[in-house]
Structure 1
Amino acid sequence: MPKVMAADKPWALISEVGENGYYEELAVIMKEHFQIMSLCDFLQNPALHGQKIQVLFMWKFYPEATPALLALLPSLRVVCSGGTGTDHLDIPYINSLGVKIANTPHVVSDATADFAMGLLLASARKIFEGQEIAKAPNTAIIPQSLMGVEVTGSTLGIIGMGEVGYKIAQRSKGFDMKILYHNRSRRSLEDEAAVGATYCENMDDLLKMSDFVMLSLRFTPQSIGLIGHRELSLMKPTATLINISRGLVVDQDALVQALQLTTIQAAALDVTHPEPLPRDHPLLSLPNALITPHMGISSTSTAKKIIQKMVDNAIAAVKGLPIPDEVKPQL
């Protein structure tokens, strides 16, 4: 394929290149096909640059596709968002402007499932607490407070058995876990048999029987507050809640209370609302809450796959071709 000269490349808007944006090795993938401009540089003179921008690349929700920003981009053809979720996008509004939307499905599932198991193991075996004690200058003995929960042979309840949820089940099978799942639709008997999963039509049954409850469902308006006071009260007092879906799926006030009163034993969260939490949020000070900054897809190989998919979608949009991963409003 002949090399595209910089002057001939279509323009794309990004957050920035660097620690708070795209690592240089990822930006290189974009630069092969696009003339990229950081949001900071763009906002210095939007009237000059706005007509050039045909693609908005969103990485970890930035730059936000707000009406104010979109109004500055009259030539925009596509918003390419990294990751699977699209709840941060006003799809009908963006489409009403004649702008397409694309995401990057299927390339984030393995990394997310790996991280979900990492959260489960770290919380159950108090790995981070152990690290703090091991590194503390005054540690002389290993305290009994590091006694953890056995993962092998325990019961994992997965709420949301889509692509990611199923990969979590596959990994859990290696720990000889008993797997329950609740989903909008039941998976095939072959899928269930492959991972030894049992379908729970009633989510309450799953909550009552699980030692670990994993939230891996796709976020929709109907899933807001899915786990609240009532649901937490159904869980075992020895159970752990793990959330890799979206923060709004859990009523955080109810979760704080459940952790304070030990209604449940622990929570491990890669997602919160908002992100990051205010520095004085009570979840941050609870010893039985493990919180990470929405880093489930943060692996080098996965990031490269995401960027390549974003670029492929953008190239198709600019050329007026069908976009491989176009997102359309749900009817």
Structure 2
Amino acid sequence: MWRVASKQAIRVVGSTAAGVLPLSKQLHVLRGLLLLGKILQASPGSKKIVGVFYKANEYAAKNPNFLGCVEGGLGIREWLESQGHQYIVTDDKDGPDSELEKHIPDLHVLISTPFHPAYVTAERIKKAKNLQLLLTAGIGSDHIDLQAAADAGLTVAEVTGSNVVSVAEDELMRILILVRNFLPGYHQVIKGEWNVAAIAYRAYDLEGKTVGTVGAGRIGKLLMQRLKPFNCNLLYHDRLKIDPELEKEIGAKYEEDLDKLLPKCDIIVINTPLTEKTRGLFDKERISKLKKGVLIVNNARGAIMDTQAVADACSSGHIAGYSGDVWYPQPAPKEHPWRYMPNHAMTPHISGTTIDAQLRYAAGTKDMLDRYFKGEDFPPQHYIVKEGKLASQYQ
């Protein structure tokens, strides 16, 4: 490529500089253009890699292990550039004039996270003539049109397992926050108030409550293991039953029929991936069948819930509390109704991006890139789309 640039430079100098600049100046310009060509040279194996992350701004310098942001860039810039690859990092991802859109036509690899997702539509895939690999630094690749990626022969992979502990711990925290009616008490303190009755009338113990997880994969299993010491009644629904020994160890009971499980639950935790089958799974009708006063925790994906139906049920009291960190779309617009509904404990998408999780998913991303450059396979569990086929959880 740089040879082409060099030839173009010679033509430019010959056609525009000749007769205008002295020979010494022409040679100086030519040397500068040749040097630029070498700087921009792309060896046969070099790739253009674009990473889309959130900006950390003043927080970037507060922790050297803060890798999941634009400034940290997963900590792989020096490694990539030392091998001759081009690495571009941005938070500007939406719309036809975004920074990401400018690079779509010639990038080879796109890295994104669930926390600041780059939505990869079928239209973008069509424009991406060089695209080969879509990597999710974290877990959850539903920001990608997976069928379009499969049809285009692309590989989609994520760092499976990288933040399951982080999310499971966060879910346990949210359950306790809702059950104990914690947030009103906190708000009283920062407002200088003191009204025990306003908190205690709807605060309960977790012990003895029935907790159901919709989805019992890695996160669902970890959550149930962490709930066992609280002496809850544990129920779960999934495509597959968990290992019988683990099921016995944690005392969990399987319910094949989701609509039979849900009315039994005091607390429902969503742990299923977003697929065409689970999109809008909790609509107005299904929510109406839940136990009145149910608590819901959702760190899976916002689009699993009907947004307005959740807001309405919180307003009516049918849902006594809703907590999670996933929204649709992300980042959530200021007018999103979940920001303003009563009895919620919502946060930005943070559960899976602790510093410990960032170190894990940064290392996993680097490992997959290294394997990609070498033409090696990834660990099987990381694949979401491979050779035109979607992983089982997305089928």
Normalised TM-score (structure 1) = 0.85
Counterpart in the other structure of 2:87: 36
Residues 170-189 of structure 1 aligned to structure 2 (within 5 Å): 170-189=225-244
Distance 1:71 1:133, change over 3 A: same
More helix by share: 2
Residues 232-243 of structure 1 aligned to structure 2 (within 5 Å): 232-243=287-298
Q: Measure how far apart 1:70 and its partner are.
A: 4.9
Counterpart in the other structure of 2:378: 323
Q: Measure how far apart 1:26 and its partner are.
A: 5.1
Equivalent residue of 1:120, what SS? helix
Give me the whole-angstrom Cα distance separating, in 2, the residues matched to 1:170 and 1:188: 13
What are the Cα deviations for residues 23-58 of structure 1, in whole angstroms up to 9, with x where unaligned?
645532343234421346x949958x965x432211
8 Å contact kept, 1:238–1:265:
yes
Give me the whole-angstrom Cα distance separating, in 2, the residues matched to 1:300 and 1:29: 16
8 Å contact kept, 2:49–2:111:
yes
- Show structure 1 runs of 5+ residues with no match: 1-5
Counterpart in the other structure of 2:324: 269
Aligned partner (choices 135, 141, 146) of residue 199 of structure 2? 146
What are the Cα deviations for residues 206-264 of structure 1, in whole angstroms up to 9, with x where unaligned?
22221101111122111122222333233222320111221121222222222222123
Counterpart in the other structure of 1:12: 49
Equivalent residue of 1:149, what SS? coil
Counterpart in the other structure of 1:84: 139
Counterpart in the other structure of 2:111: 57
Distance 1:64 1:311, change over 3 A: farther
Equivalent residue of 1:174, what SS? helix
Counterpart in the other structure of 1:106: 161
Mean Cα displacement is larger for which, 303-312 or 262-271?
Answer: 262-271
Query: Over the residues paired in the alignment, what is the CA RMSD in angstroms?
Result: 3.0
What are the Cα deviations for residues 281-301 of structure 1, in whole angstroms up to 9, with x where unaligned?
333222212212222202001
8 Å contact kept, 2:56–2:71:
no
Give me the whole-angstrom Cα distance separating, in 1, the residues matched to 2:273 and 2:152: 26
- Show structure 2 runs of 5+ residues with no match: 1-39, 58-67, 93-97
Normalised TM-score (structure 2) = 0.73
Counterpart in the other structure of 2:342: 287
Equivalent residue of 1:33, what SS? helix
Distance 1:195 1:63, change over 3 A: same
Q: Measure how far apart 1:169 and its partner are.
A: 0.3
Q: Which amino acid in 2 is paired with 1:146? A: I
Equivalent residue of 1:222, what SS? coil
Equivalent residue of 1:92, what SS? helix
What are the Cα deviations for residues 68-118 of structure 1, in whole angstroms up to 9, with x where unaligned?
655665443311112222221123323444432211111121111111111
Aligned partner (choices 22, 27, 31) of residue 69 of structure 2? 22
What are the Cα deviations for residues 136-193 of structure 1, in whole angstroms up to 9, with x where unaligned?
14x2x23311121211221111111111111110011121111011112222321211
Give me the whole-angstrom Cα distance separating, in 1, the residues matched to 2:100 and 2:120: 18
Matched, 1:216 2:255: no
Counterpart in the other structure of 1:3: none
